Structure 1
């Protein structure tokens, strides 16, 4: 059983931080407590540990992360020899290993370390720690043959030193060489070898990093603008007509500060999206007049304008020596890095080879990781009708960088592009559609009129209706142009899901549309239903909600044990409300005898084993329920919010169930992470389940009606 994973390179510049981040992502999917250990550290902040600590909410004391400083290690080795140095590092490592289920070890960085035979040193540490090794070979600016040779040689070297090699990773390989290198290495090495192409956005410095490195002064720009990657540098000296064609997407414009024409011209091009730029760097310590700066701020709000004291030549020399770094202040680079790792490394196979025992606890982070992995495993297209909303665009940025699913954004396409440019978001991988101008509009109008003919809809009326982004998006799902839809960050629940009741309708075995929330507590995930749609379901509807919720829970890896909640447990109470829950429980048992269910039961008896032992001894559900069905919307909605706020639970949802195709509603207070999770859930709902839940066999309720919203 793996207790630690050691990531080691063989030289500088291999970009192994991408691999370290990717391995950490895999480990945190499996276990709750992952420790980090870096045997040797330079003076100053450790950017990688700070990124891991921020991203994965590590509680580890930073003082326990490091073995020794490099200068301490050099002195100790010179005075007492290598054995004493290794012994000291093993002692420090074991102190971390005793506290955590698994440890990620970050190998030495080959940067002025004064260690003889650093590869052998890393190999020995990996062996002494009992760690499995992931070895990284850098391929930047190397030929395909050189990468292959170095990777094979590195494998032989680590194998010859007795290492347990999990995988070899050739990183920063020229994109055009990637497939050939991967094919040739697969035939020559007995362990998996993943080949990751070079990604310019990872090595591109952000505007903030450039400003800090050059001692610049920020004249204009917000945090989002300063986080943009400078993918290229364009030096402005020519007149405007010659200058504009030289601009490239994501470039940093470098020009003397007295060239107001180039400043305004570059920002105007950015505002028009032709092309979006990263920002402007003004040299010679010359600053535009207040009038020019005011115009600049209105042309491209948030776009950075930075002044530096040097002239263009020394500034250029410094710029070309800068390289972007992964750190806690560059979360978008981290998303890009993870997307790259997950796209080109076989993460499923690597997880199997890691052989880390999965924790019994399921933390919110583990659940969220699993959502993204499931969505990525069978790629789907999700339509987002609120394409001009900032939170939606930021969520789209994460989903694209992580390669989770295909996206369609609806709205005025020029507004979407301009907003994305202002936020520094690249939407080139997304489909943008303006419903009002789309060639699909006429066909959608005819389809909608056909579906609503019984309500008197005409094509002329439908033509106006389908220009609404939610109706248009729902029709895309109905017609198979998208697999699911997510909306609601700026629209009401009614505006979001009413089109689905009219167009998509319910599944044959569902009487109503209902919802669940995944409540991610500190140590487990519970499913709450219905907390968002049905105000006061009757017994038959409540039974349908329970069966749907059990299927949803199973689909997302939660073993369904259903508690039908009430204010009394077992036979202790009576009255119409309790009788409804009792009847619903009976209907579920008749329809699905394979499901574990208990009801009526109070919340404490449902989730607390000690209470259950007193109130319902011997129950297979009480005390360990995972699916909690509330008797009405008032109880469910208030309970989920109380648990969310009081217990610090992460509430993922509402997730709609019962529709033929997935449409999900966001809270208007949804955060970017909530939107990412909901899109992933929607993509998973549209995938073909490996084992579809058995249909209900109980007598069916009356013909479904369109629920009131």
Structure 2
């Protein structure tokens, strides 16, 4: 039977979309096929469903998502009664439920509806759907006593109407009241109650939303700039020195279009990062000269300048009533919302209470979700040497909003801040260090010169070497100032991992440093090794790669069944290359009898049961291999890229293994999502390393 979760409320303005998004995140971690049903809808396409469909790559036909629009439902209820309305919605729900393992039901929104008792309707629908209920209560601008009373009454109302209440969520409370409310409600209610503070960034409209609402014209700016949140509004009428003192981080400057001095001053302030602004809104349908706009664009590339027809007073009145909305066009808000939900709700407890059936399949999305969840559970600090690189900054934005790990970014600090401001990335919670000016440079030079004195490295030479961001980041990891490092989006593999070889070195039980890729196929995750580091490992090294890869696979939830790949299977082939693989296989069997391993074996026999049944019918690995070890770098690198491109697989890696502390390399073509995943993997690897690791150079 399909498990269903019904997220509902008691009134409008509760910010319930945050909880809808958070619950969807939980469900997609657990199962592959999650459906969505909204019984009543105002307009289609529905903004929230479009966000869920975009973010979670839902294949569900939008026509099946919606029950009835509010006008249809109201007319049906008036003509034929509530029972007929409910019967119609139940029929439409079951058309969705039969195709999915779990259905997330999005309750009514209490906005501009004509139902006399909307709460009772939600409760009845939840019961008829066989769905458990998560009830959301809005706490914005309410006293703690009022919130407590309203939450208790909401629980009693839904429980009294026969609902299976999984949890209560109080949203948008004053941050100063959150801890007290959470403790008090936890003792007051028989079900878990999660209390989420009000988050200004979620309620702030983006510059794009303001532009659309005011029918504005974009004079300058790119998509990234238009996606910035307008966290405050500064109305420009004063002279420039006074005006500059009034600017606040993330503010939207509203000024008449003929005030070229304020336009240039605001953009110059943004360029200097004192402070970064969201953009400039020009009123009176006036626009500065082309020369002023050119200067503004050079000062703050990407920062939006928008012109509207109205004068300042009605424009101000309108924008002050606008509220930010979660949508497919606001991915940063979605990351902020998920980070908020995951920090303040006990997601593990909630998932247990949902009791969604666990899927045997592991989709790419499920694998990625679990990475972030595991990294967040025991936060570590990861250093990113490429602090001025756009993709790294965008990845840092996601990681910080989701609370995945703590971050240190390396590079010229003012350049990092300016680039982040241009991208609308908030680095307030990140540590920024310029290796060239850092007080750590002298200390690191001494450490590195001692480590490399046998190579003739003096302290003076070391002083220059450690100003390199990769050397500096590696030394931070070695000295315990960071738990792991990720680099390589603009540096070569050699530039990224050479410092690790020199400073961190290999584990005592590892003969070499090697790598794996997690290949996320449509319904499973395979581990490929080694596709990035060792050109032509000998039998001993190949055996070491297999053992390391099995350990890495197990660490990330993939049960290792090792296939030692070759161009022949079993005893069918001969030659030096096959003999190397055969010897490596025997070495693993002799030293690690607990590991399931087969080799030499061809790729098709390793992963396809029908081929395995013919070639190796008695093997416990053939046809179901999860860890595939390639005989050399040429084969491994080409194979992973071929599978990635032709099968549409997501390749996460390379993940380095064998080092005493985690350092990972990125492909120079890495996307933002690749960087996020690699940082999460690095943080998880760091969870196994304590501060008592073996000192450098021993």
Residues 176-233 of structure 1: per-residue CA shift (max 9 Å, x gap): 0000000100010000000000000001000000000001000000000000000000
Q: Report the Cα offset of residue 45 of structure 1.
A: 3.1
Counterparts of residues 498-509 of structure 1 (less than 5 Å): 498-509=498-509
Match of residue 284 from structure 1: 284
Residues 71-114 of structure 1: per-residue CA shift (max 9 Å, x gap): 11111111111111000000000000001110000000001110
Match of residue 496 from structure 2: 496
Match of residue 57 from structure 1: 57
Gaps spanning 5+ residues in structure 2: where?
691-696
Match of residue 35 from structure 1: 35
Match of residue 369 from structure 1: 369
Matched, 1:177 2:199: no
Residues 530-549 of structure 1: per-residue CA shift (max 9 Å, x gap): 00000000000000000000
Match of residue 455 from structure 1: 455
Cα distance in 2 for residues equivalent to 1:178 and 1:688: 33
Gaps spanning 5+ residues in structure 1: where?
691-704
Cα distance in 2 for residues equivalent to 1:348 and 1:222: 39
Residues 260-305 of structure 1: per-residue CA shift (max 9 Å, x gap): 1111111110000000000000001111011111110111000000
On the 8 A contact 2:527/2:628 being kept in 1, the answer is yes
On the 8 A contact 2:2/2:101 being kept in 1, the answer is no
Q: Secondary structure at the match of 1:321?
A: coil
On the 8 A contact 1:540/1:584 being kept in 2, the answer is yes
Cα distance in 2 for residues equivalent to 1:2 and 1:191: 23
On the 8 A contact 2:255/2:281 being kept in 1, the answer is yes
Question: Which is worse superposed, 351-360 or 548-557?
Answer: 351-360
Cα distance in 1 for residues equivalent to 2:566 and 2:306: 62
Q: Secondary structure at the match of 2:486?
A: strand
Cα distance in 1 for residues equivalent to 2:26 and 2:19: 11
Match of residue 464 from structure 2: 464
Q: Report the Cα offset of residue 40 of structure 1.
A: 0.5
Q: Report the Cα offset of residue 473 of structure 1.
A: 0.1
On the 8 A contact 2:661/2:689 being kept in 1, the answer is no
On the 8 A contact 2:2/2:98 being kept in 1, the answer is no
Match of residue 581 from structure 2: 581
Residues 30-73 of structure 1: per-residue CA shift (max 9 Å, x gap): 11110000000113431100000000011100000011111111
Q: Secondary structure at the match of 2:320?
A: helix
Residues 544-570 of structure 1: per-residue CA shift (max 9 Å, x gap): 000000000000000000000001111
On the 8 A contact 2:2/2:100 being kept in 1, the answer is no
Cα distance in 2 for residues equivalent to 1:222 and 1:564: 50
On the 8 A contact 2:2/2:103 being kept in 1, the answer is no
Cα distance in 1 for residues equivalent to 2:485 and 2:395: 14
Aligned residues: 692
Q: Report the Cα offset of residue 2 of structure 1.
A: 6.4
Q: Report the Cα offset of residue 457 of structure 1.
A: 1.0
Match of residue 629 from structure 1: 629
State the TM-score, normalized to the length of structure 2: 0.98
Match of residue 475 from structure 2: 475
Cα distance in 2 for residues equivalent to 1:463 and 1:2: 63
Q: Secondary structure at the match of 1:362?
A: coil
Question: Which is worse superposed, 587-596 or 680-689?
Answer: 680-689
Match of residue 682 from structure 2: 682
Q: Report the Cα offset of residue 591 of structure 1.
A: 1.1
Residues 658-692 of structure 1: per-residue CA shift (max 9 Å, x gap): 000000000000000000000000000011289xx
Match of residue 233 from structure 1: 233
Matched, 1:571 2:571: yes
On the 8 A contact 2:656/2:664 being kept in 1, the answer is yes
Residues 437-484 of structure 1: per-residue CA shift (max 9 Å, x gap): 000000000000111111111110000000000000000000000000
Cα distance in 1 for residues equivalent to 2:163 and 2:230: 40
Which runs of at least 4 in structure 1 moved beyond 3 Å after TM superposition?
none
Cα distance in 2 for residues equivalent to 1:253 and 1:507: 55
Match of residue 102 from structure 1: 102
Match of residue 536 from structure 1: 536
On the 8 A contact 2:372/2:404 being kept in 1, the answer is yes
Cα distance in 2 for residues equivalent to 1:394 and 1:33: 29
Match of residue 485 from structure 2: 485
Matched, 1:423 2:456: no
Counterparts of residues 584-663 of structure 1 (less than 5 Å): 584-663=584-663
Matched, 1:344 2:351: no
Cα distance in 2 for residues equivalent to 1:78 and 1:193: 37
Match of residue 139 from structure 1: 139
On the 8 A contact 1:34/1:101 being kept in 2, the answer is yes
On the 8 A contact 1:555/1:689 being kept in 2, the answer is no
On the 8 A contact 1:2/1:354 being kept in 2, the answer is no
Cα distance in 1 for residues equivalent to 2:79 and 2:156: 32
Cα distance in 1 for residues equivalent to 2:483 and 2:577: 39
Matched, 1:115 2:128: no
On the 8 A contact 1:214/1:308 being kept in 2, the answer is yes
Match of residue 158 from structure 2: 158
Cα distance in 2 for residues equivalent to 1:459 and 1:130: 71
Q: Secondary structure at the match of 2:409?
A: strand
Q: Secondary structure at the match of 1:586?
A: helix
Q: Secondary structure at the match of 1:598?
A: strand
On the 8 A contact 2:484/2:662 being kept in 1, the answer is yes
Cα distance in 2 for residues equivalent to 1:677 and 1:112: 42
Cα distance in 2 for residues equivalent to 1:43 and 1:512: 59
Matched, 1:304 2:304: yes
Residues 587-616 of structure 1: per-residue CA shift (max 9 Å, x gap): 001111000000111000000001101100
Matched, 1:246 2:243: no
Matched, 1:433 2:460: no
Q: Secondary structure at the match of 2:325?
A: coil
On the 8 A contact 2:40/2:68 being kept in 1, the answer is yes
Match of residue 188 from structure 2: 188
Cα distance in 2 for residues equivalent to 1:120 and 1:152: 16
Cα distance in 1 for residues equivalent to 2:446 and 2:90: 72
State the TM-score, normalized to the length of structure 1: 0.97
Matched, 1:70 2:70: yes
Cα distance in 2 for residues equivalent to 1:2 and 1:593: 42
Cα distance in 2 for residues equivalent to 1:428 and 1:449: 34
Cα distance in 2 for residues equivalent to 1:239 and 1:79: 64
Cα distance in 2 for residues equivalent to 1:291 and 1:174: 46
Cα distance in 2 for residues equivalent to 1:5 and 1:45: 22
Question: Which is worse superposed, 680-689 or 472-481?
Answer: 680-689
Q: Report the Cα offset of residue 398 of structure 1.
A: 0.2
Cα distance in 2 for residues equivalent to 1:382 and 1:117: 51
Q: Secondary structure at the match of 1:523?
A: coil
Cα distance in 2 for residues equivalent to 1:578 and 1:294: 65
Q: Secondary structure at the match of 2:99?
A: coil
Match of residue 214 from structure 1: 214
Match of residue 354 from structure 2: 354
Match of residue 694 from structure 2: none
On the 8 A contact 1:2/1:131 being kept in 2, the answer is no
